[in-house]
Amino acid sequence: PTDTGSVHITQTRNTGSFFDGGMKRYYGIGDGGQGEDQDPMFVVPNGGTIQNVIIDAPAGDGVHCEGSCTIRNVWWNDVGEDAATFKSSSSSATYLVDGGGAKSGSDKVFQHNGAGTVTIRNFQVHGSGKLYRACGNCSTSYKRHVVMDNVTARTTKVLAGINTNWGDTARFTRITVYGSSTTICEKYRGVPKGS
């Protein structure tokens, strides 16, 4: 989408319970590379919503949801280390990504490190590694769930990577893929850090 202006940010922003970016283009955190120690651009507290934002390089560690959250109509022009991380310790947490899209995530787009269910719907991904990965080496081996509906993928390697030994699940409806081989669901064996 076309932006309505640009905002250079140099420090992580907390969105509070509701943040509407008005389709401005936000950039300026981290170095645009794959370093795992970069700051997020936005932190969304439990129950919060972020919407109508274009995130551009350098985007650092993207959006962090501390608990349940809604990410609506957010567009990543060039994913940083990853696009968003879901972090609640509650098994009833729900994280909704509705609308929007992500390009050029060299590795992962959505990183599920906490517990609960991630829903990704009405979303496009292009030129990325995995659209979703349930953490494979986090120290807490939560059951993690993902639901994808109406997702279009172009030249993307994997839609979901899950750890079947930890009881993770993935559900898919209305998936369209273009380009060379895309794996819909890759099953892994999670190994907790420090084990």
From the list ligand DGU, Ca ion, none, pick the one residue 137 interacts with, judged by a Cβ distance below 5 to 8 Å according to partner type.
ligand DGU
Please state the closest distance from residue 81 (CB atom) to Ca ion, in A.
Answer: 4
Pair type for strands 18-27 and 6-8: parallel
> Residue 126, exposed/middle/buried by CB under 10 A (0-12, 13-18, 19+)?
middle
Q: Single out the segment in contact with ligand DGU by CB under 6 A; choices: 64-72, 81-89, 93-101, 163-171.
A: 81-89
Please state the closest distance from residue 58 (CB atom) to ligand DGU, in A.
Answer: 15
Spatial distance between the Cα atoms of 112 and 39, rounded to a whole number of angstroms: 17
Based on the shown chain and the rule CB under 6 A, indicate whether residue 135 belongs to the binding site for ligand DGU: yes
Please state the closest distance from residue 168 (CB atom) to Ca ion, in A.
Answer: 17
Cα 102 vs. chain centroid, distance in angstroms?
Answer: 9
Please state the closest distance from residue 152 (CB atom) to Ca ion, in A.
Answer: 19
Based on the shown chain and the rule CB under 6 A, indicate whether residue 193 belongs to the binding site for ligand DGU: yes
The binding site for Ca ion (CB under 5 A) comprises 61, 78-79, 81-82, 104, 106
The binding site for ligand DGU (CB under 6 A) comprises 36, 81-82, 85, 111, 113, 135, 137-138, 193
